Amino acid sequence: MQDPLRIHIEKVVPVSDEEFIIISSYFTRKKYKKYQFLIQEGESVSCNYFVLKGLLKLVYTDDTDKSHIVGFAMEDWWESDFKAFYTGSRATMSLECVEDTEVLCLTLEGYKKLCREIPKMEHFFLEKAYFGFISAQQRILSMMTSSTKERYDQLLKQYPALVQRVPKSLLAAYLGVSRETLSRFSL
């Protein structure tokens, strides 16, 4: 069976067996239990996480202690508090397991060394960043211009497997609506 990280990378750039041995040496495998935090607000962020198995939620808590779900990450997705990770600042968001989760961790130092050692990895990460930016812009536009029902339908169409795994209360928080409102759409 081929390595999930290699499959993921080769969707963007081809890598030889020798290159993949080097690439994989920069990652550390970690397992977390449901409800366990990978990142907590206020802490330093040491890793960018590639999800091998499980489901994560990225949460921002505002000044009134209201939690806002910024995003989810399941298998084959990357997640972190990227601002804190890349700038060395403290986390403004928390990353928590919705399910038992297994990830590959890449430190910032490892990321920089990996990109120097295998330059095509810089292209890989740039492509991943582009698609992340596009997704974030689409979500912002959707929040500004679409009805709650339209946002829910877009989520169902774009990520049907995610919608099946995420509890309704979390989906409602992600969409910015009450659980009751979401229930009317998902009957």
pLDDT in tens, 94-151: 999 999 999 999 999 999 999 999 999 999 999 999 999 999 999 899 889 998 889 8
Q: What is the mean pLDDT of residues 76-95?
A: 97
Question: So what's the pLDDT on residue 51?
Answer: 98
R_g (Cα) of the chain, nearest Å = 17
Question: So what's the pLDDT on residue 186?
Answer: 59
Gap between the Cα atoms of 174 and 71, Å rounded: 7
Contact 39, 80 (CB under 8 A): yes
Angle between helix axes 148-158 and 120-145 (nearest 10 degrees) is 150
Q: Which residues pair with 50 in a beta bridge?
A: 78, 104
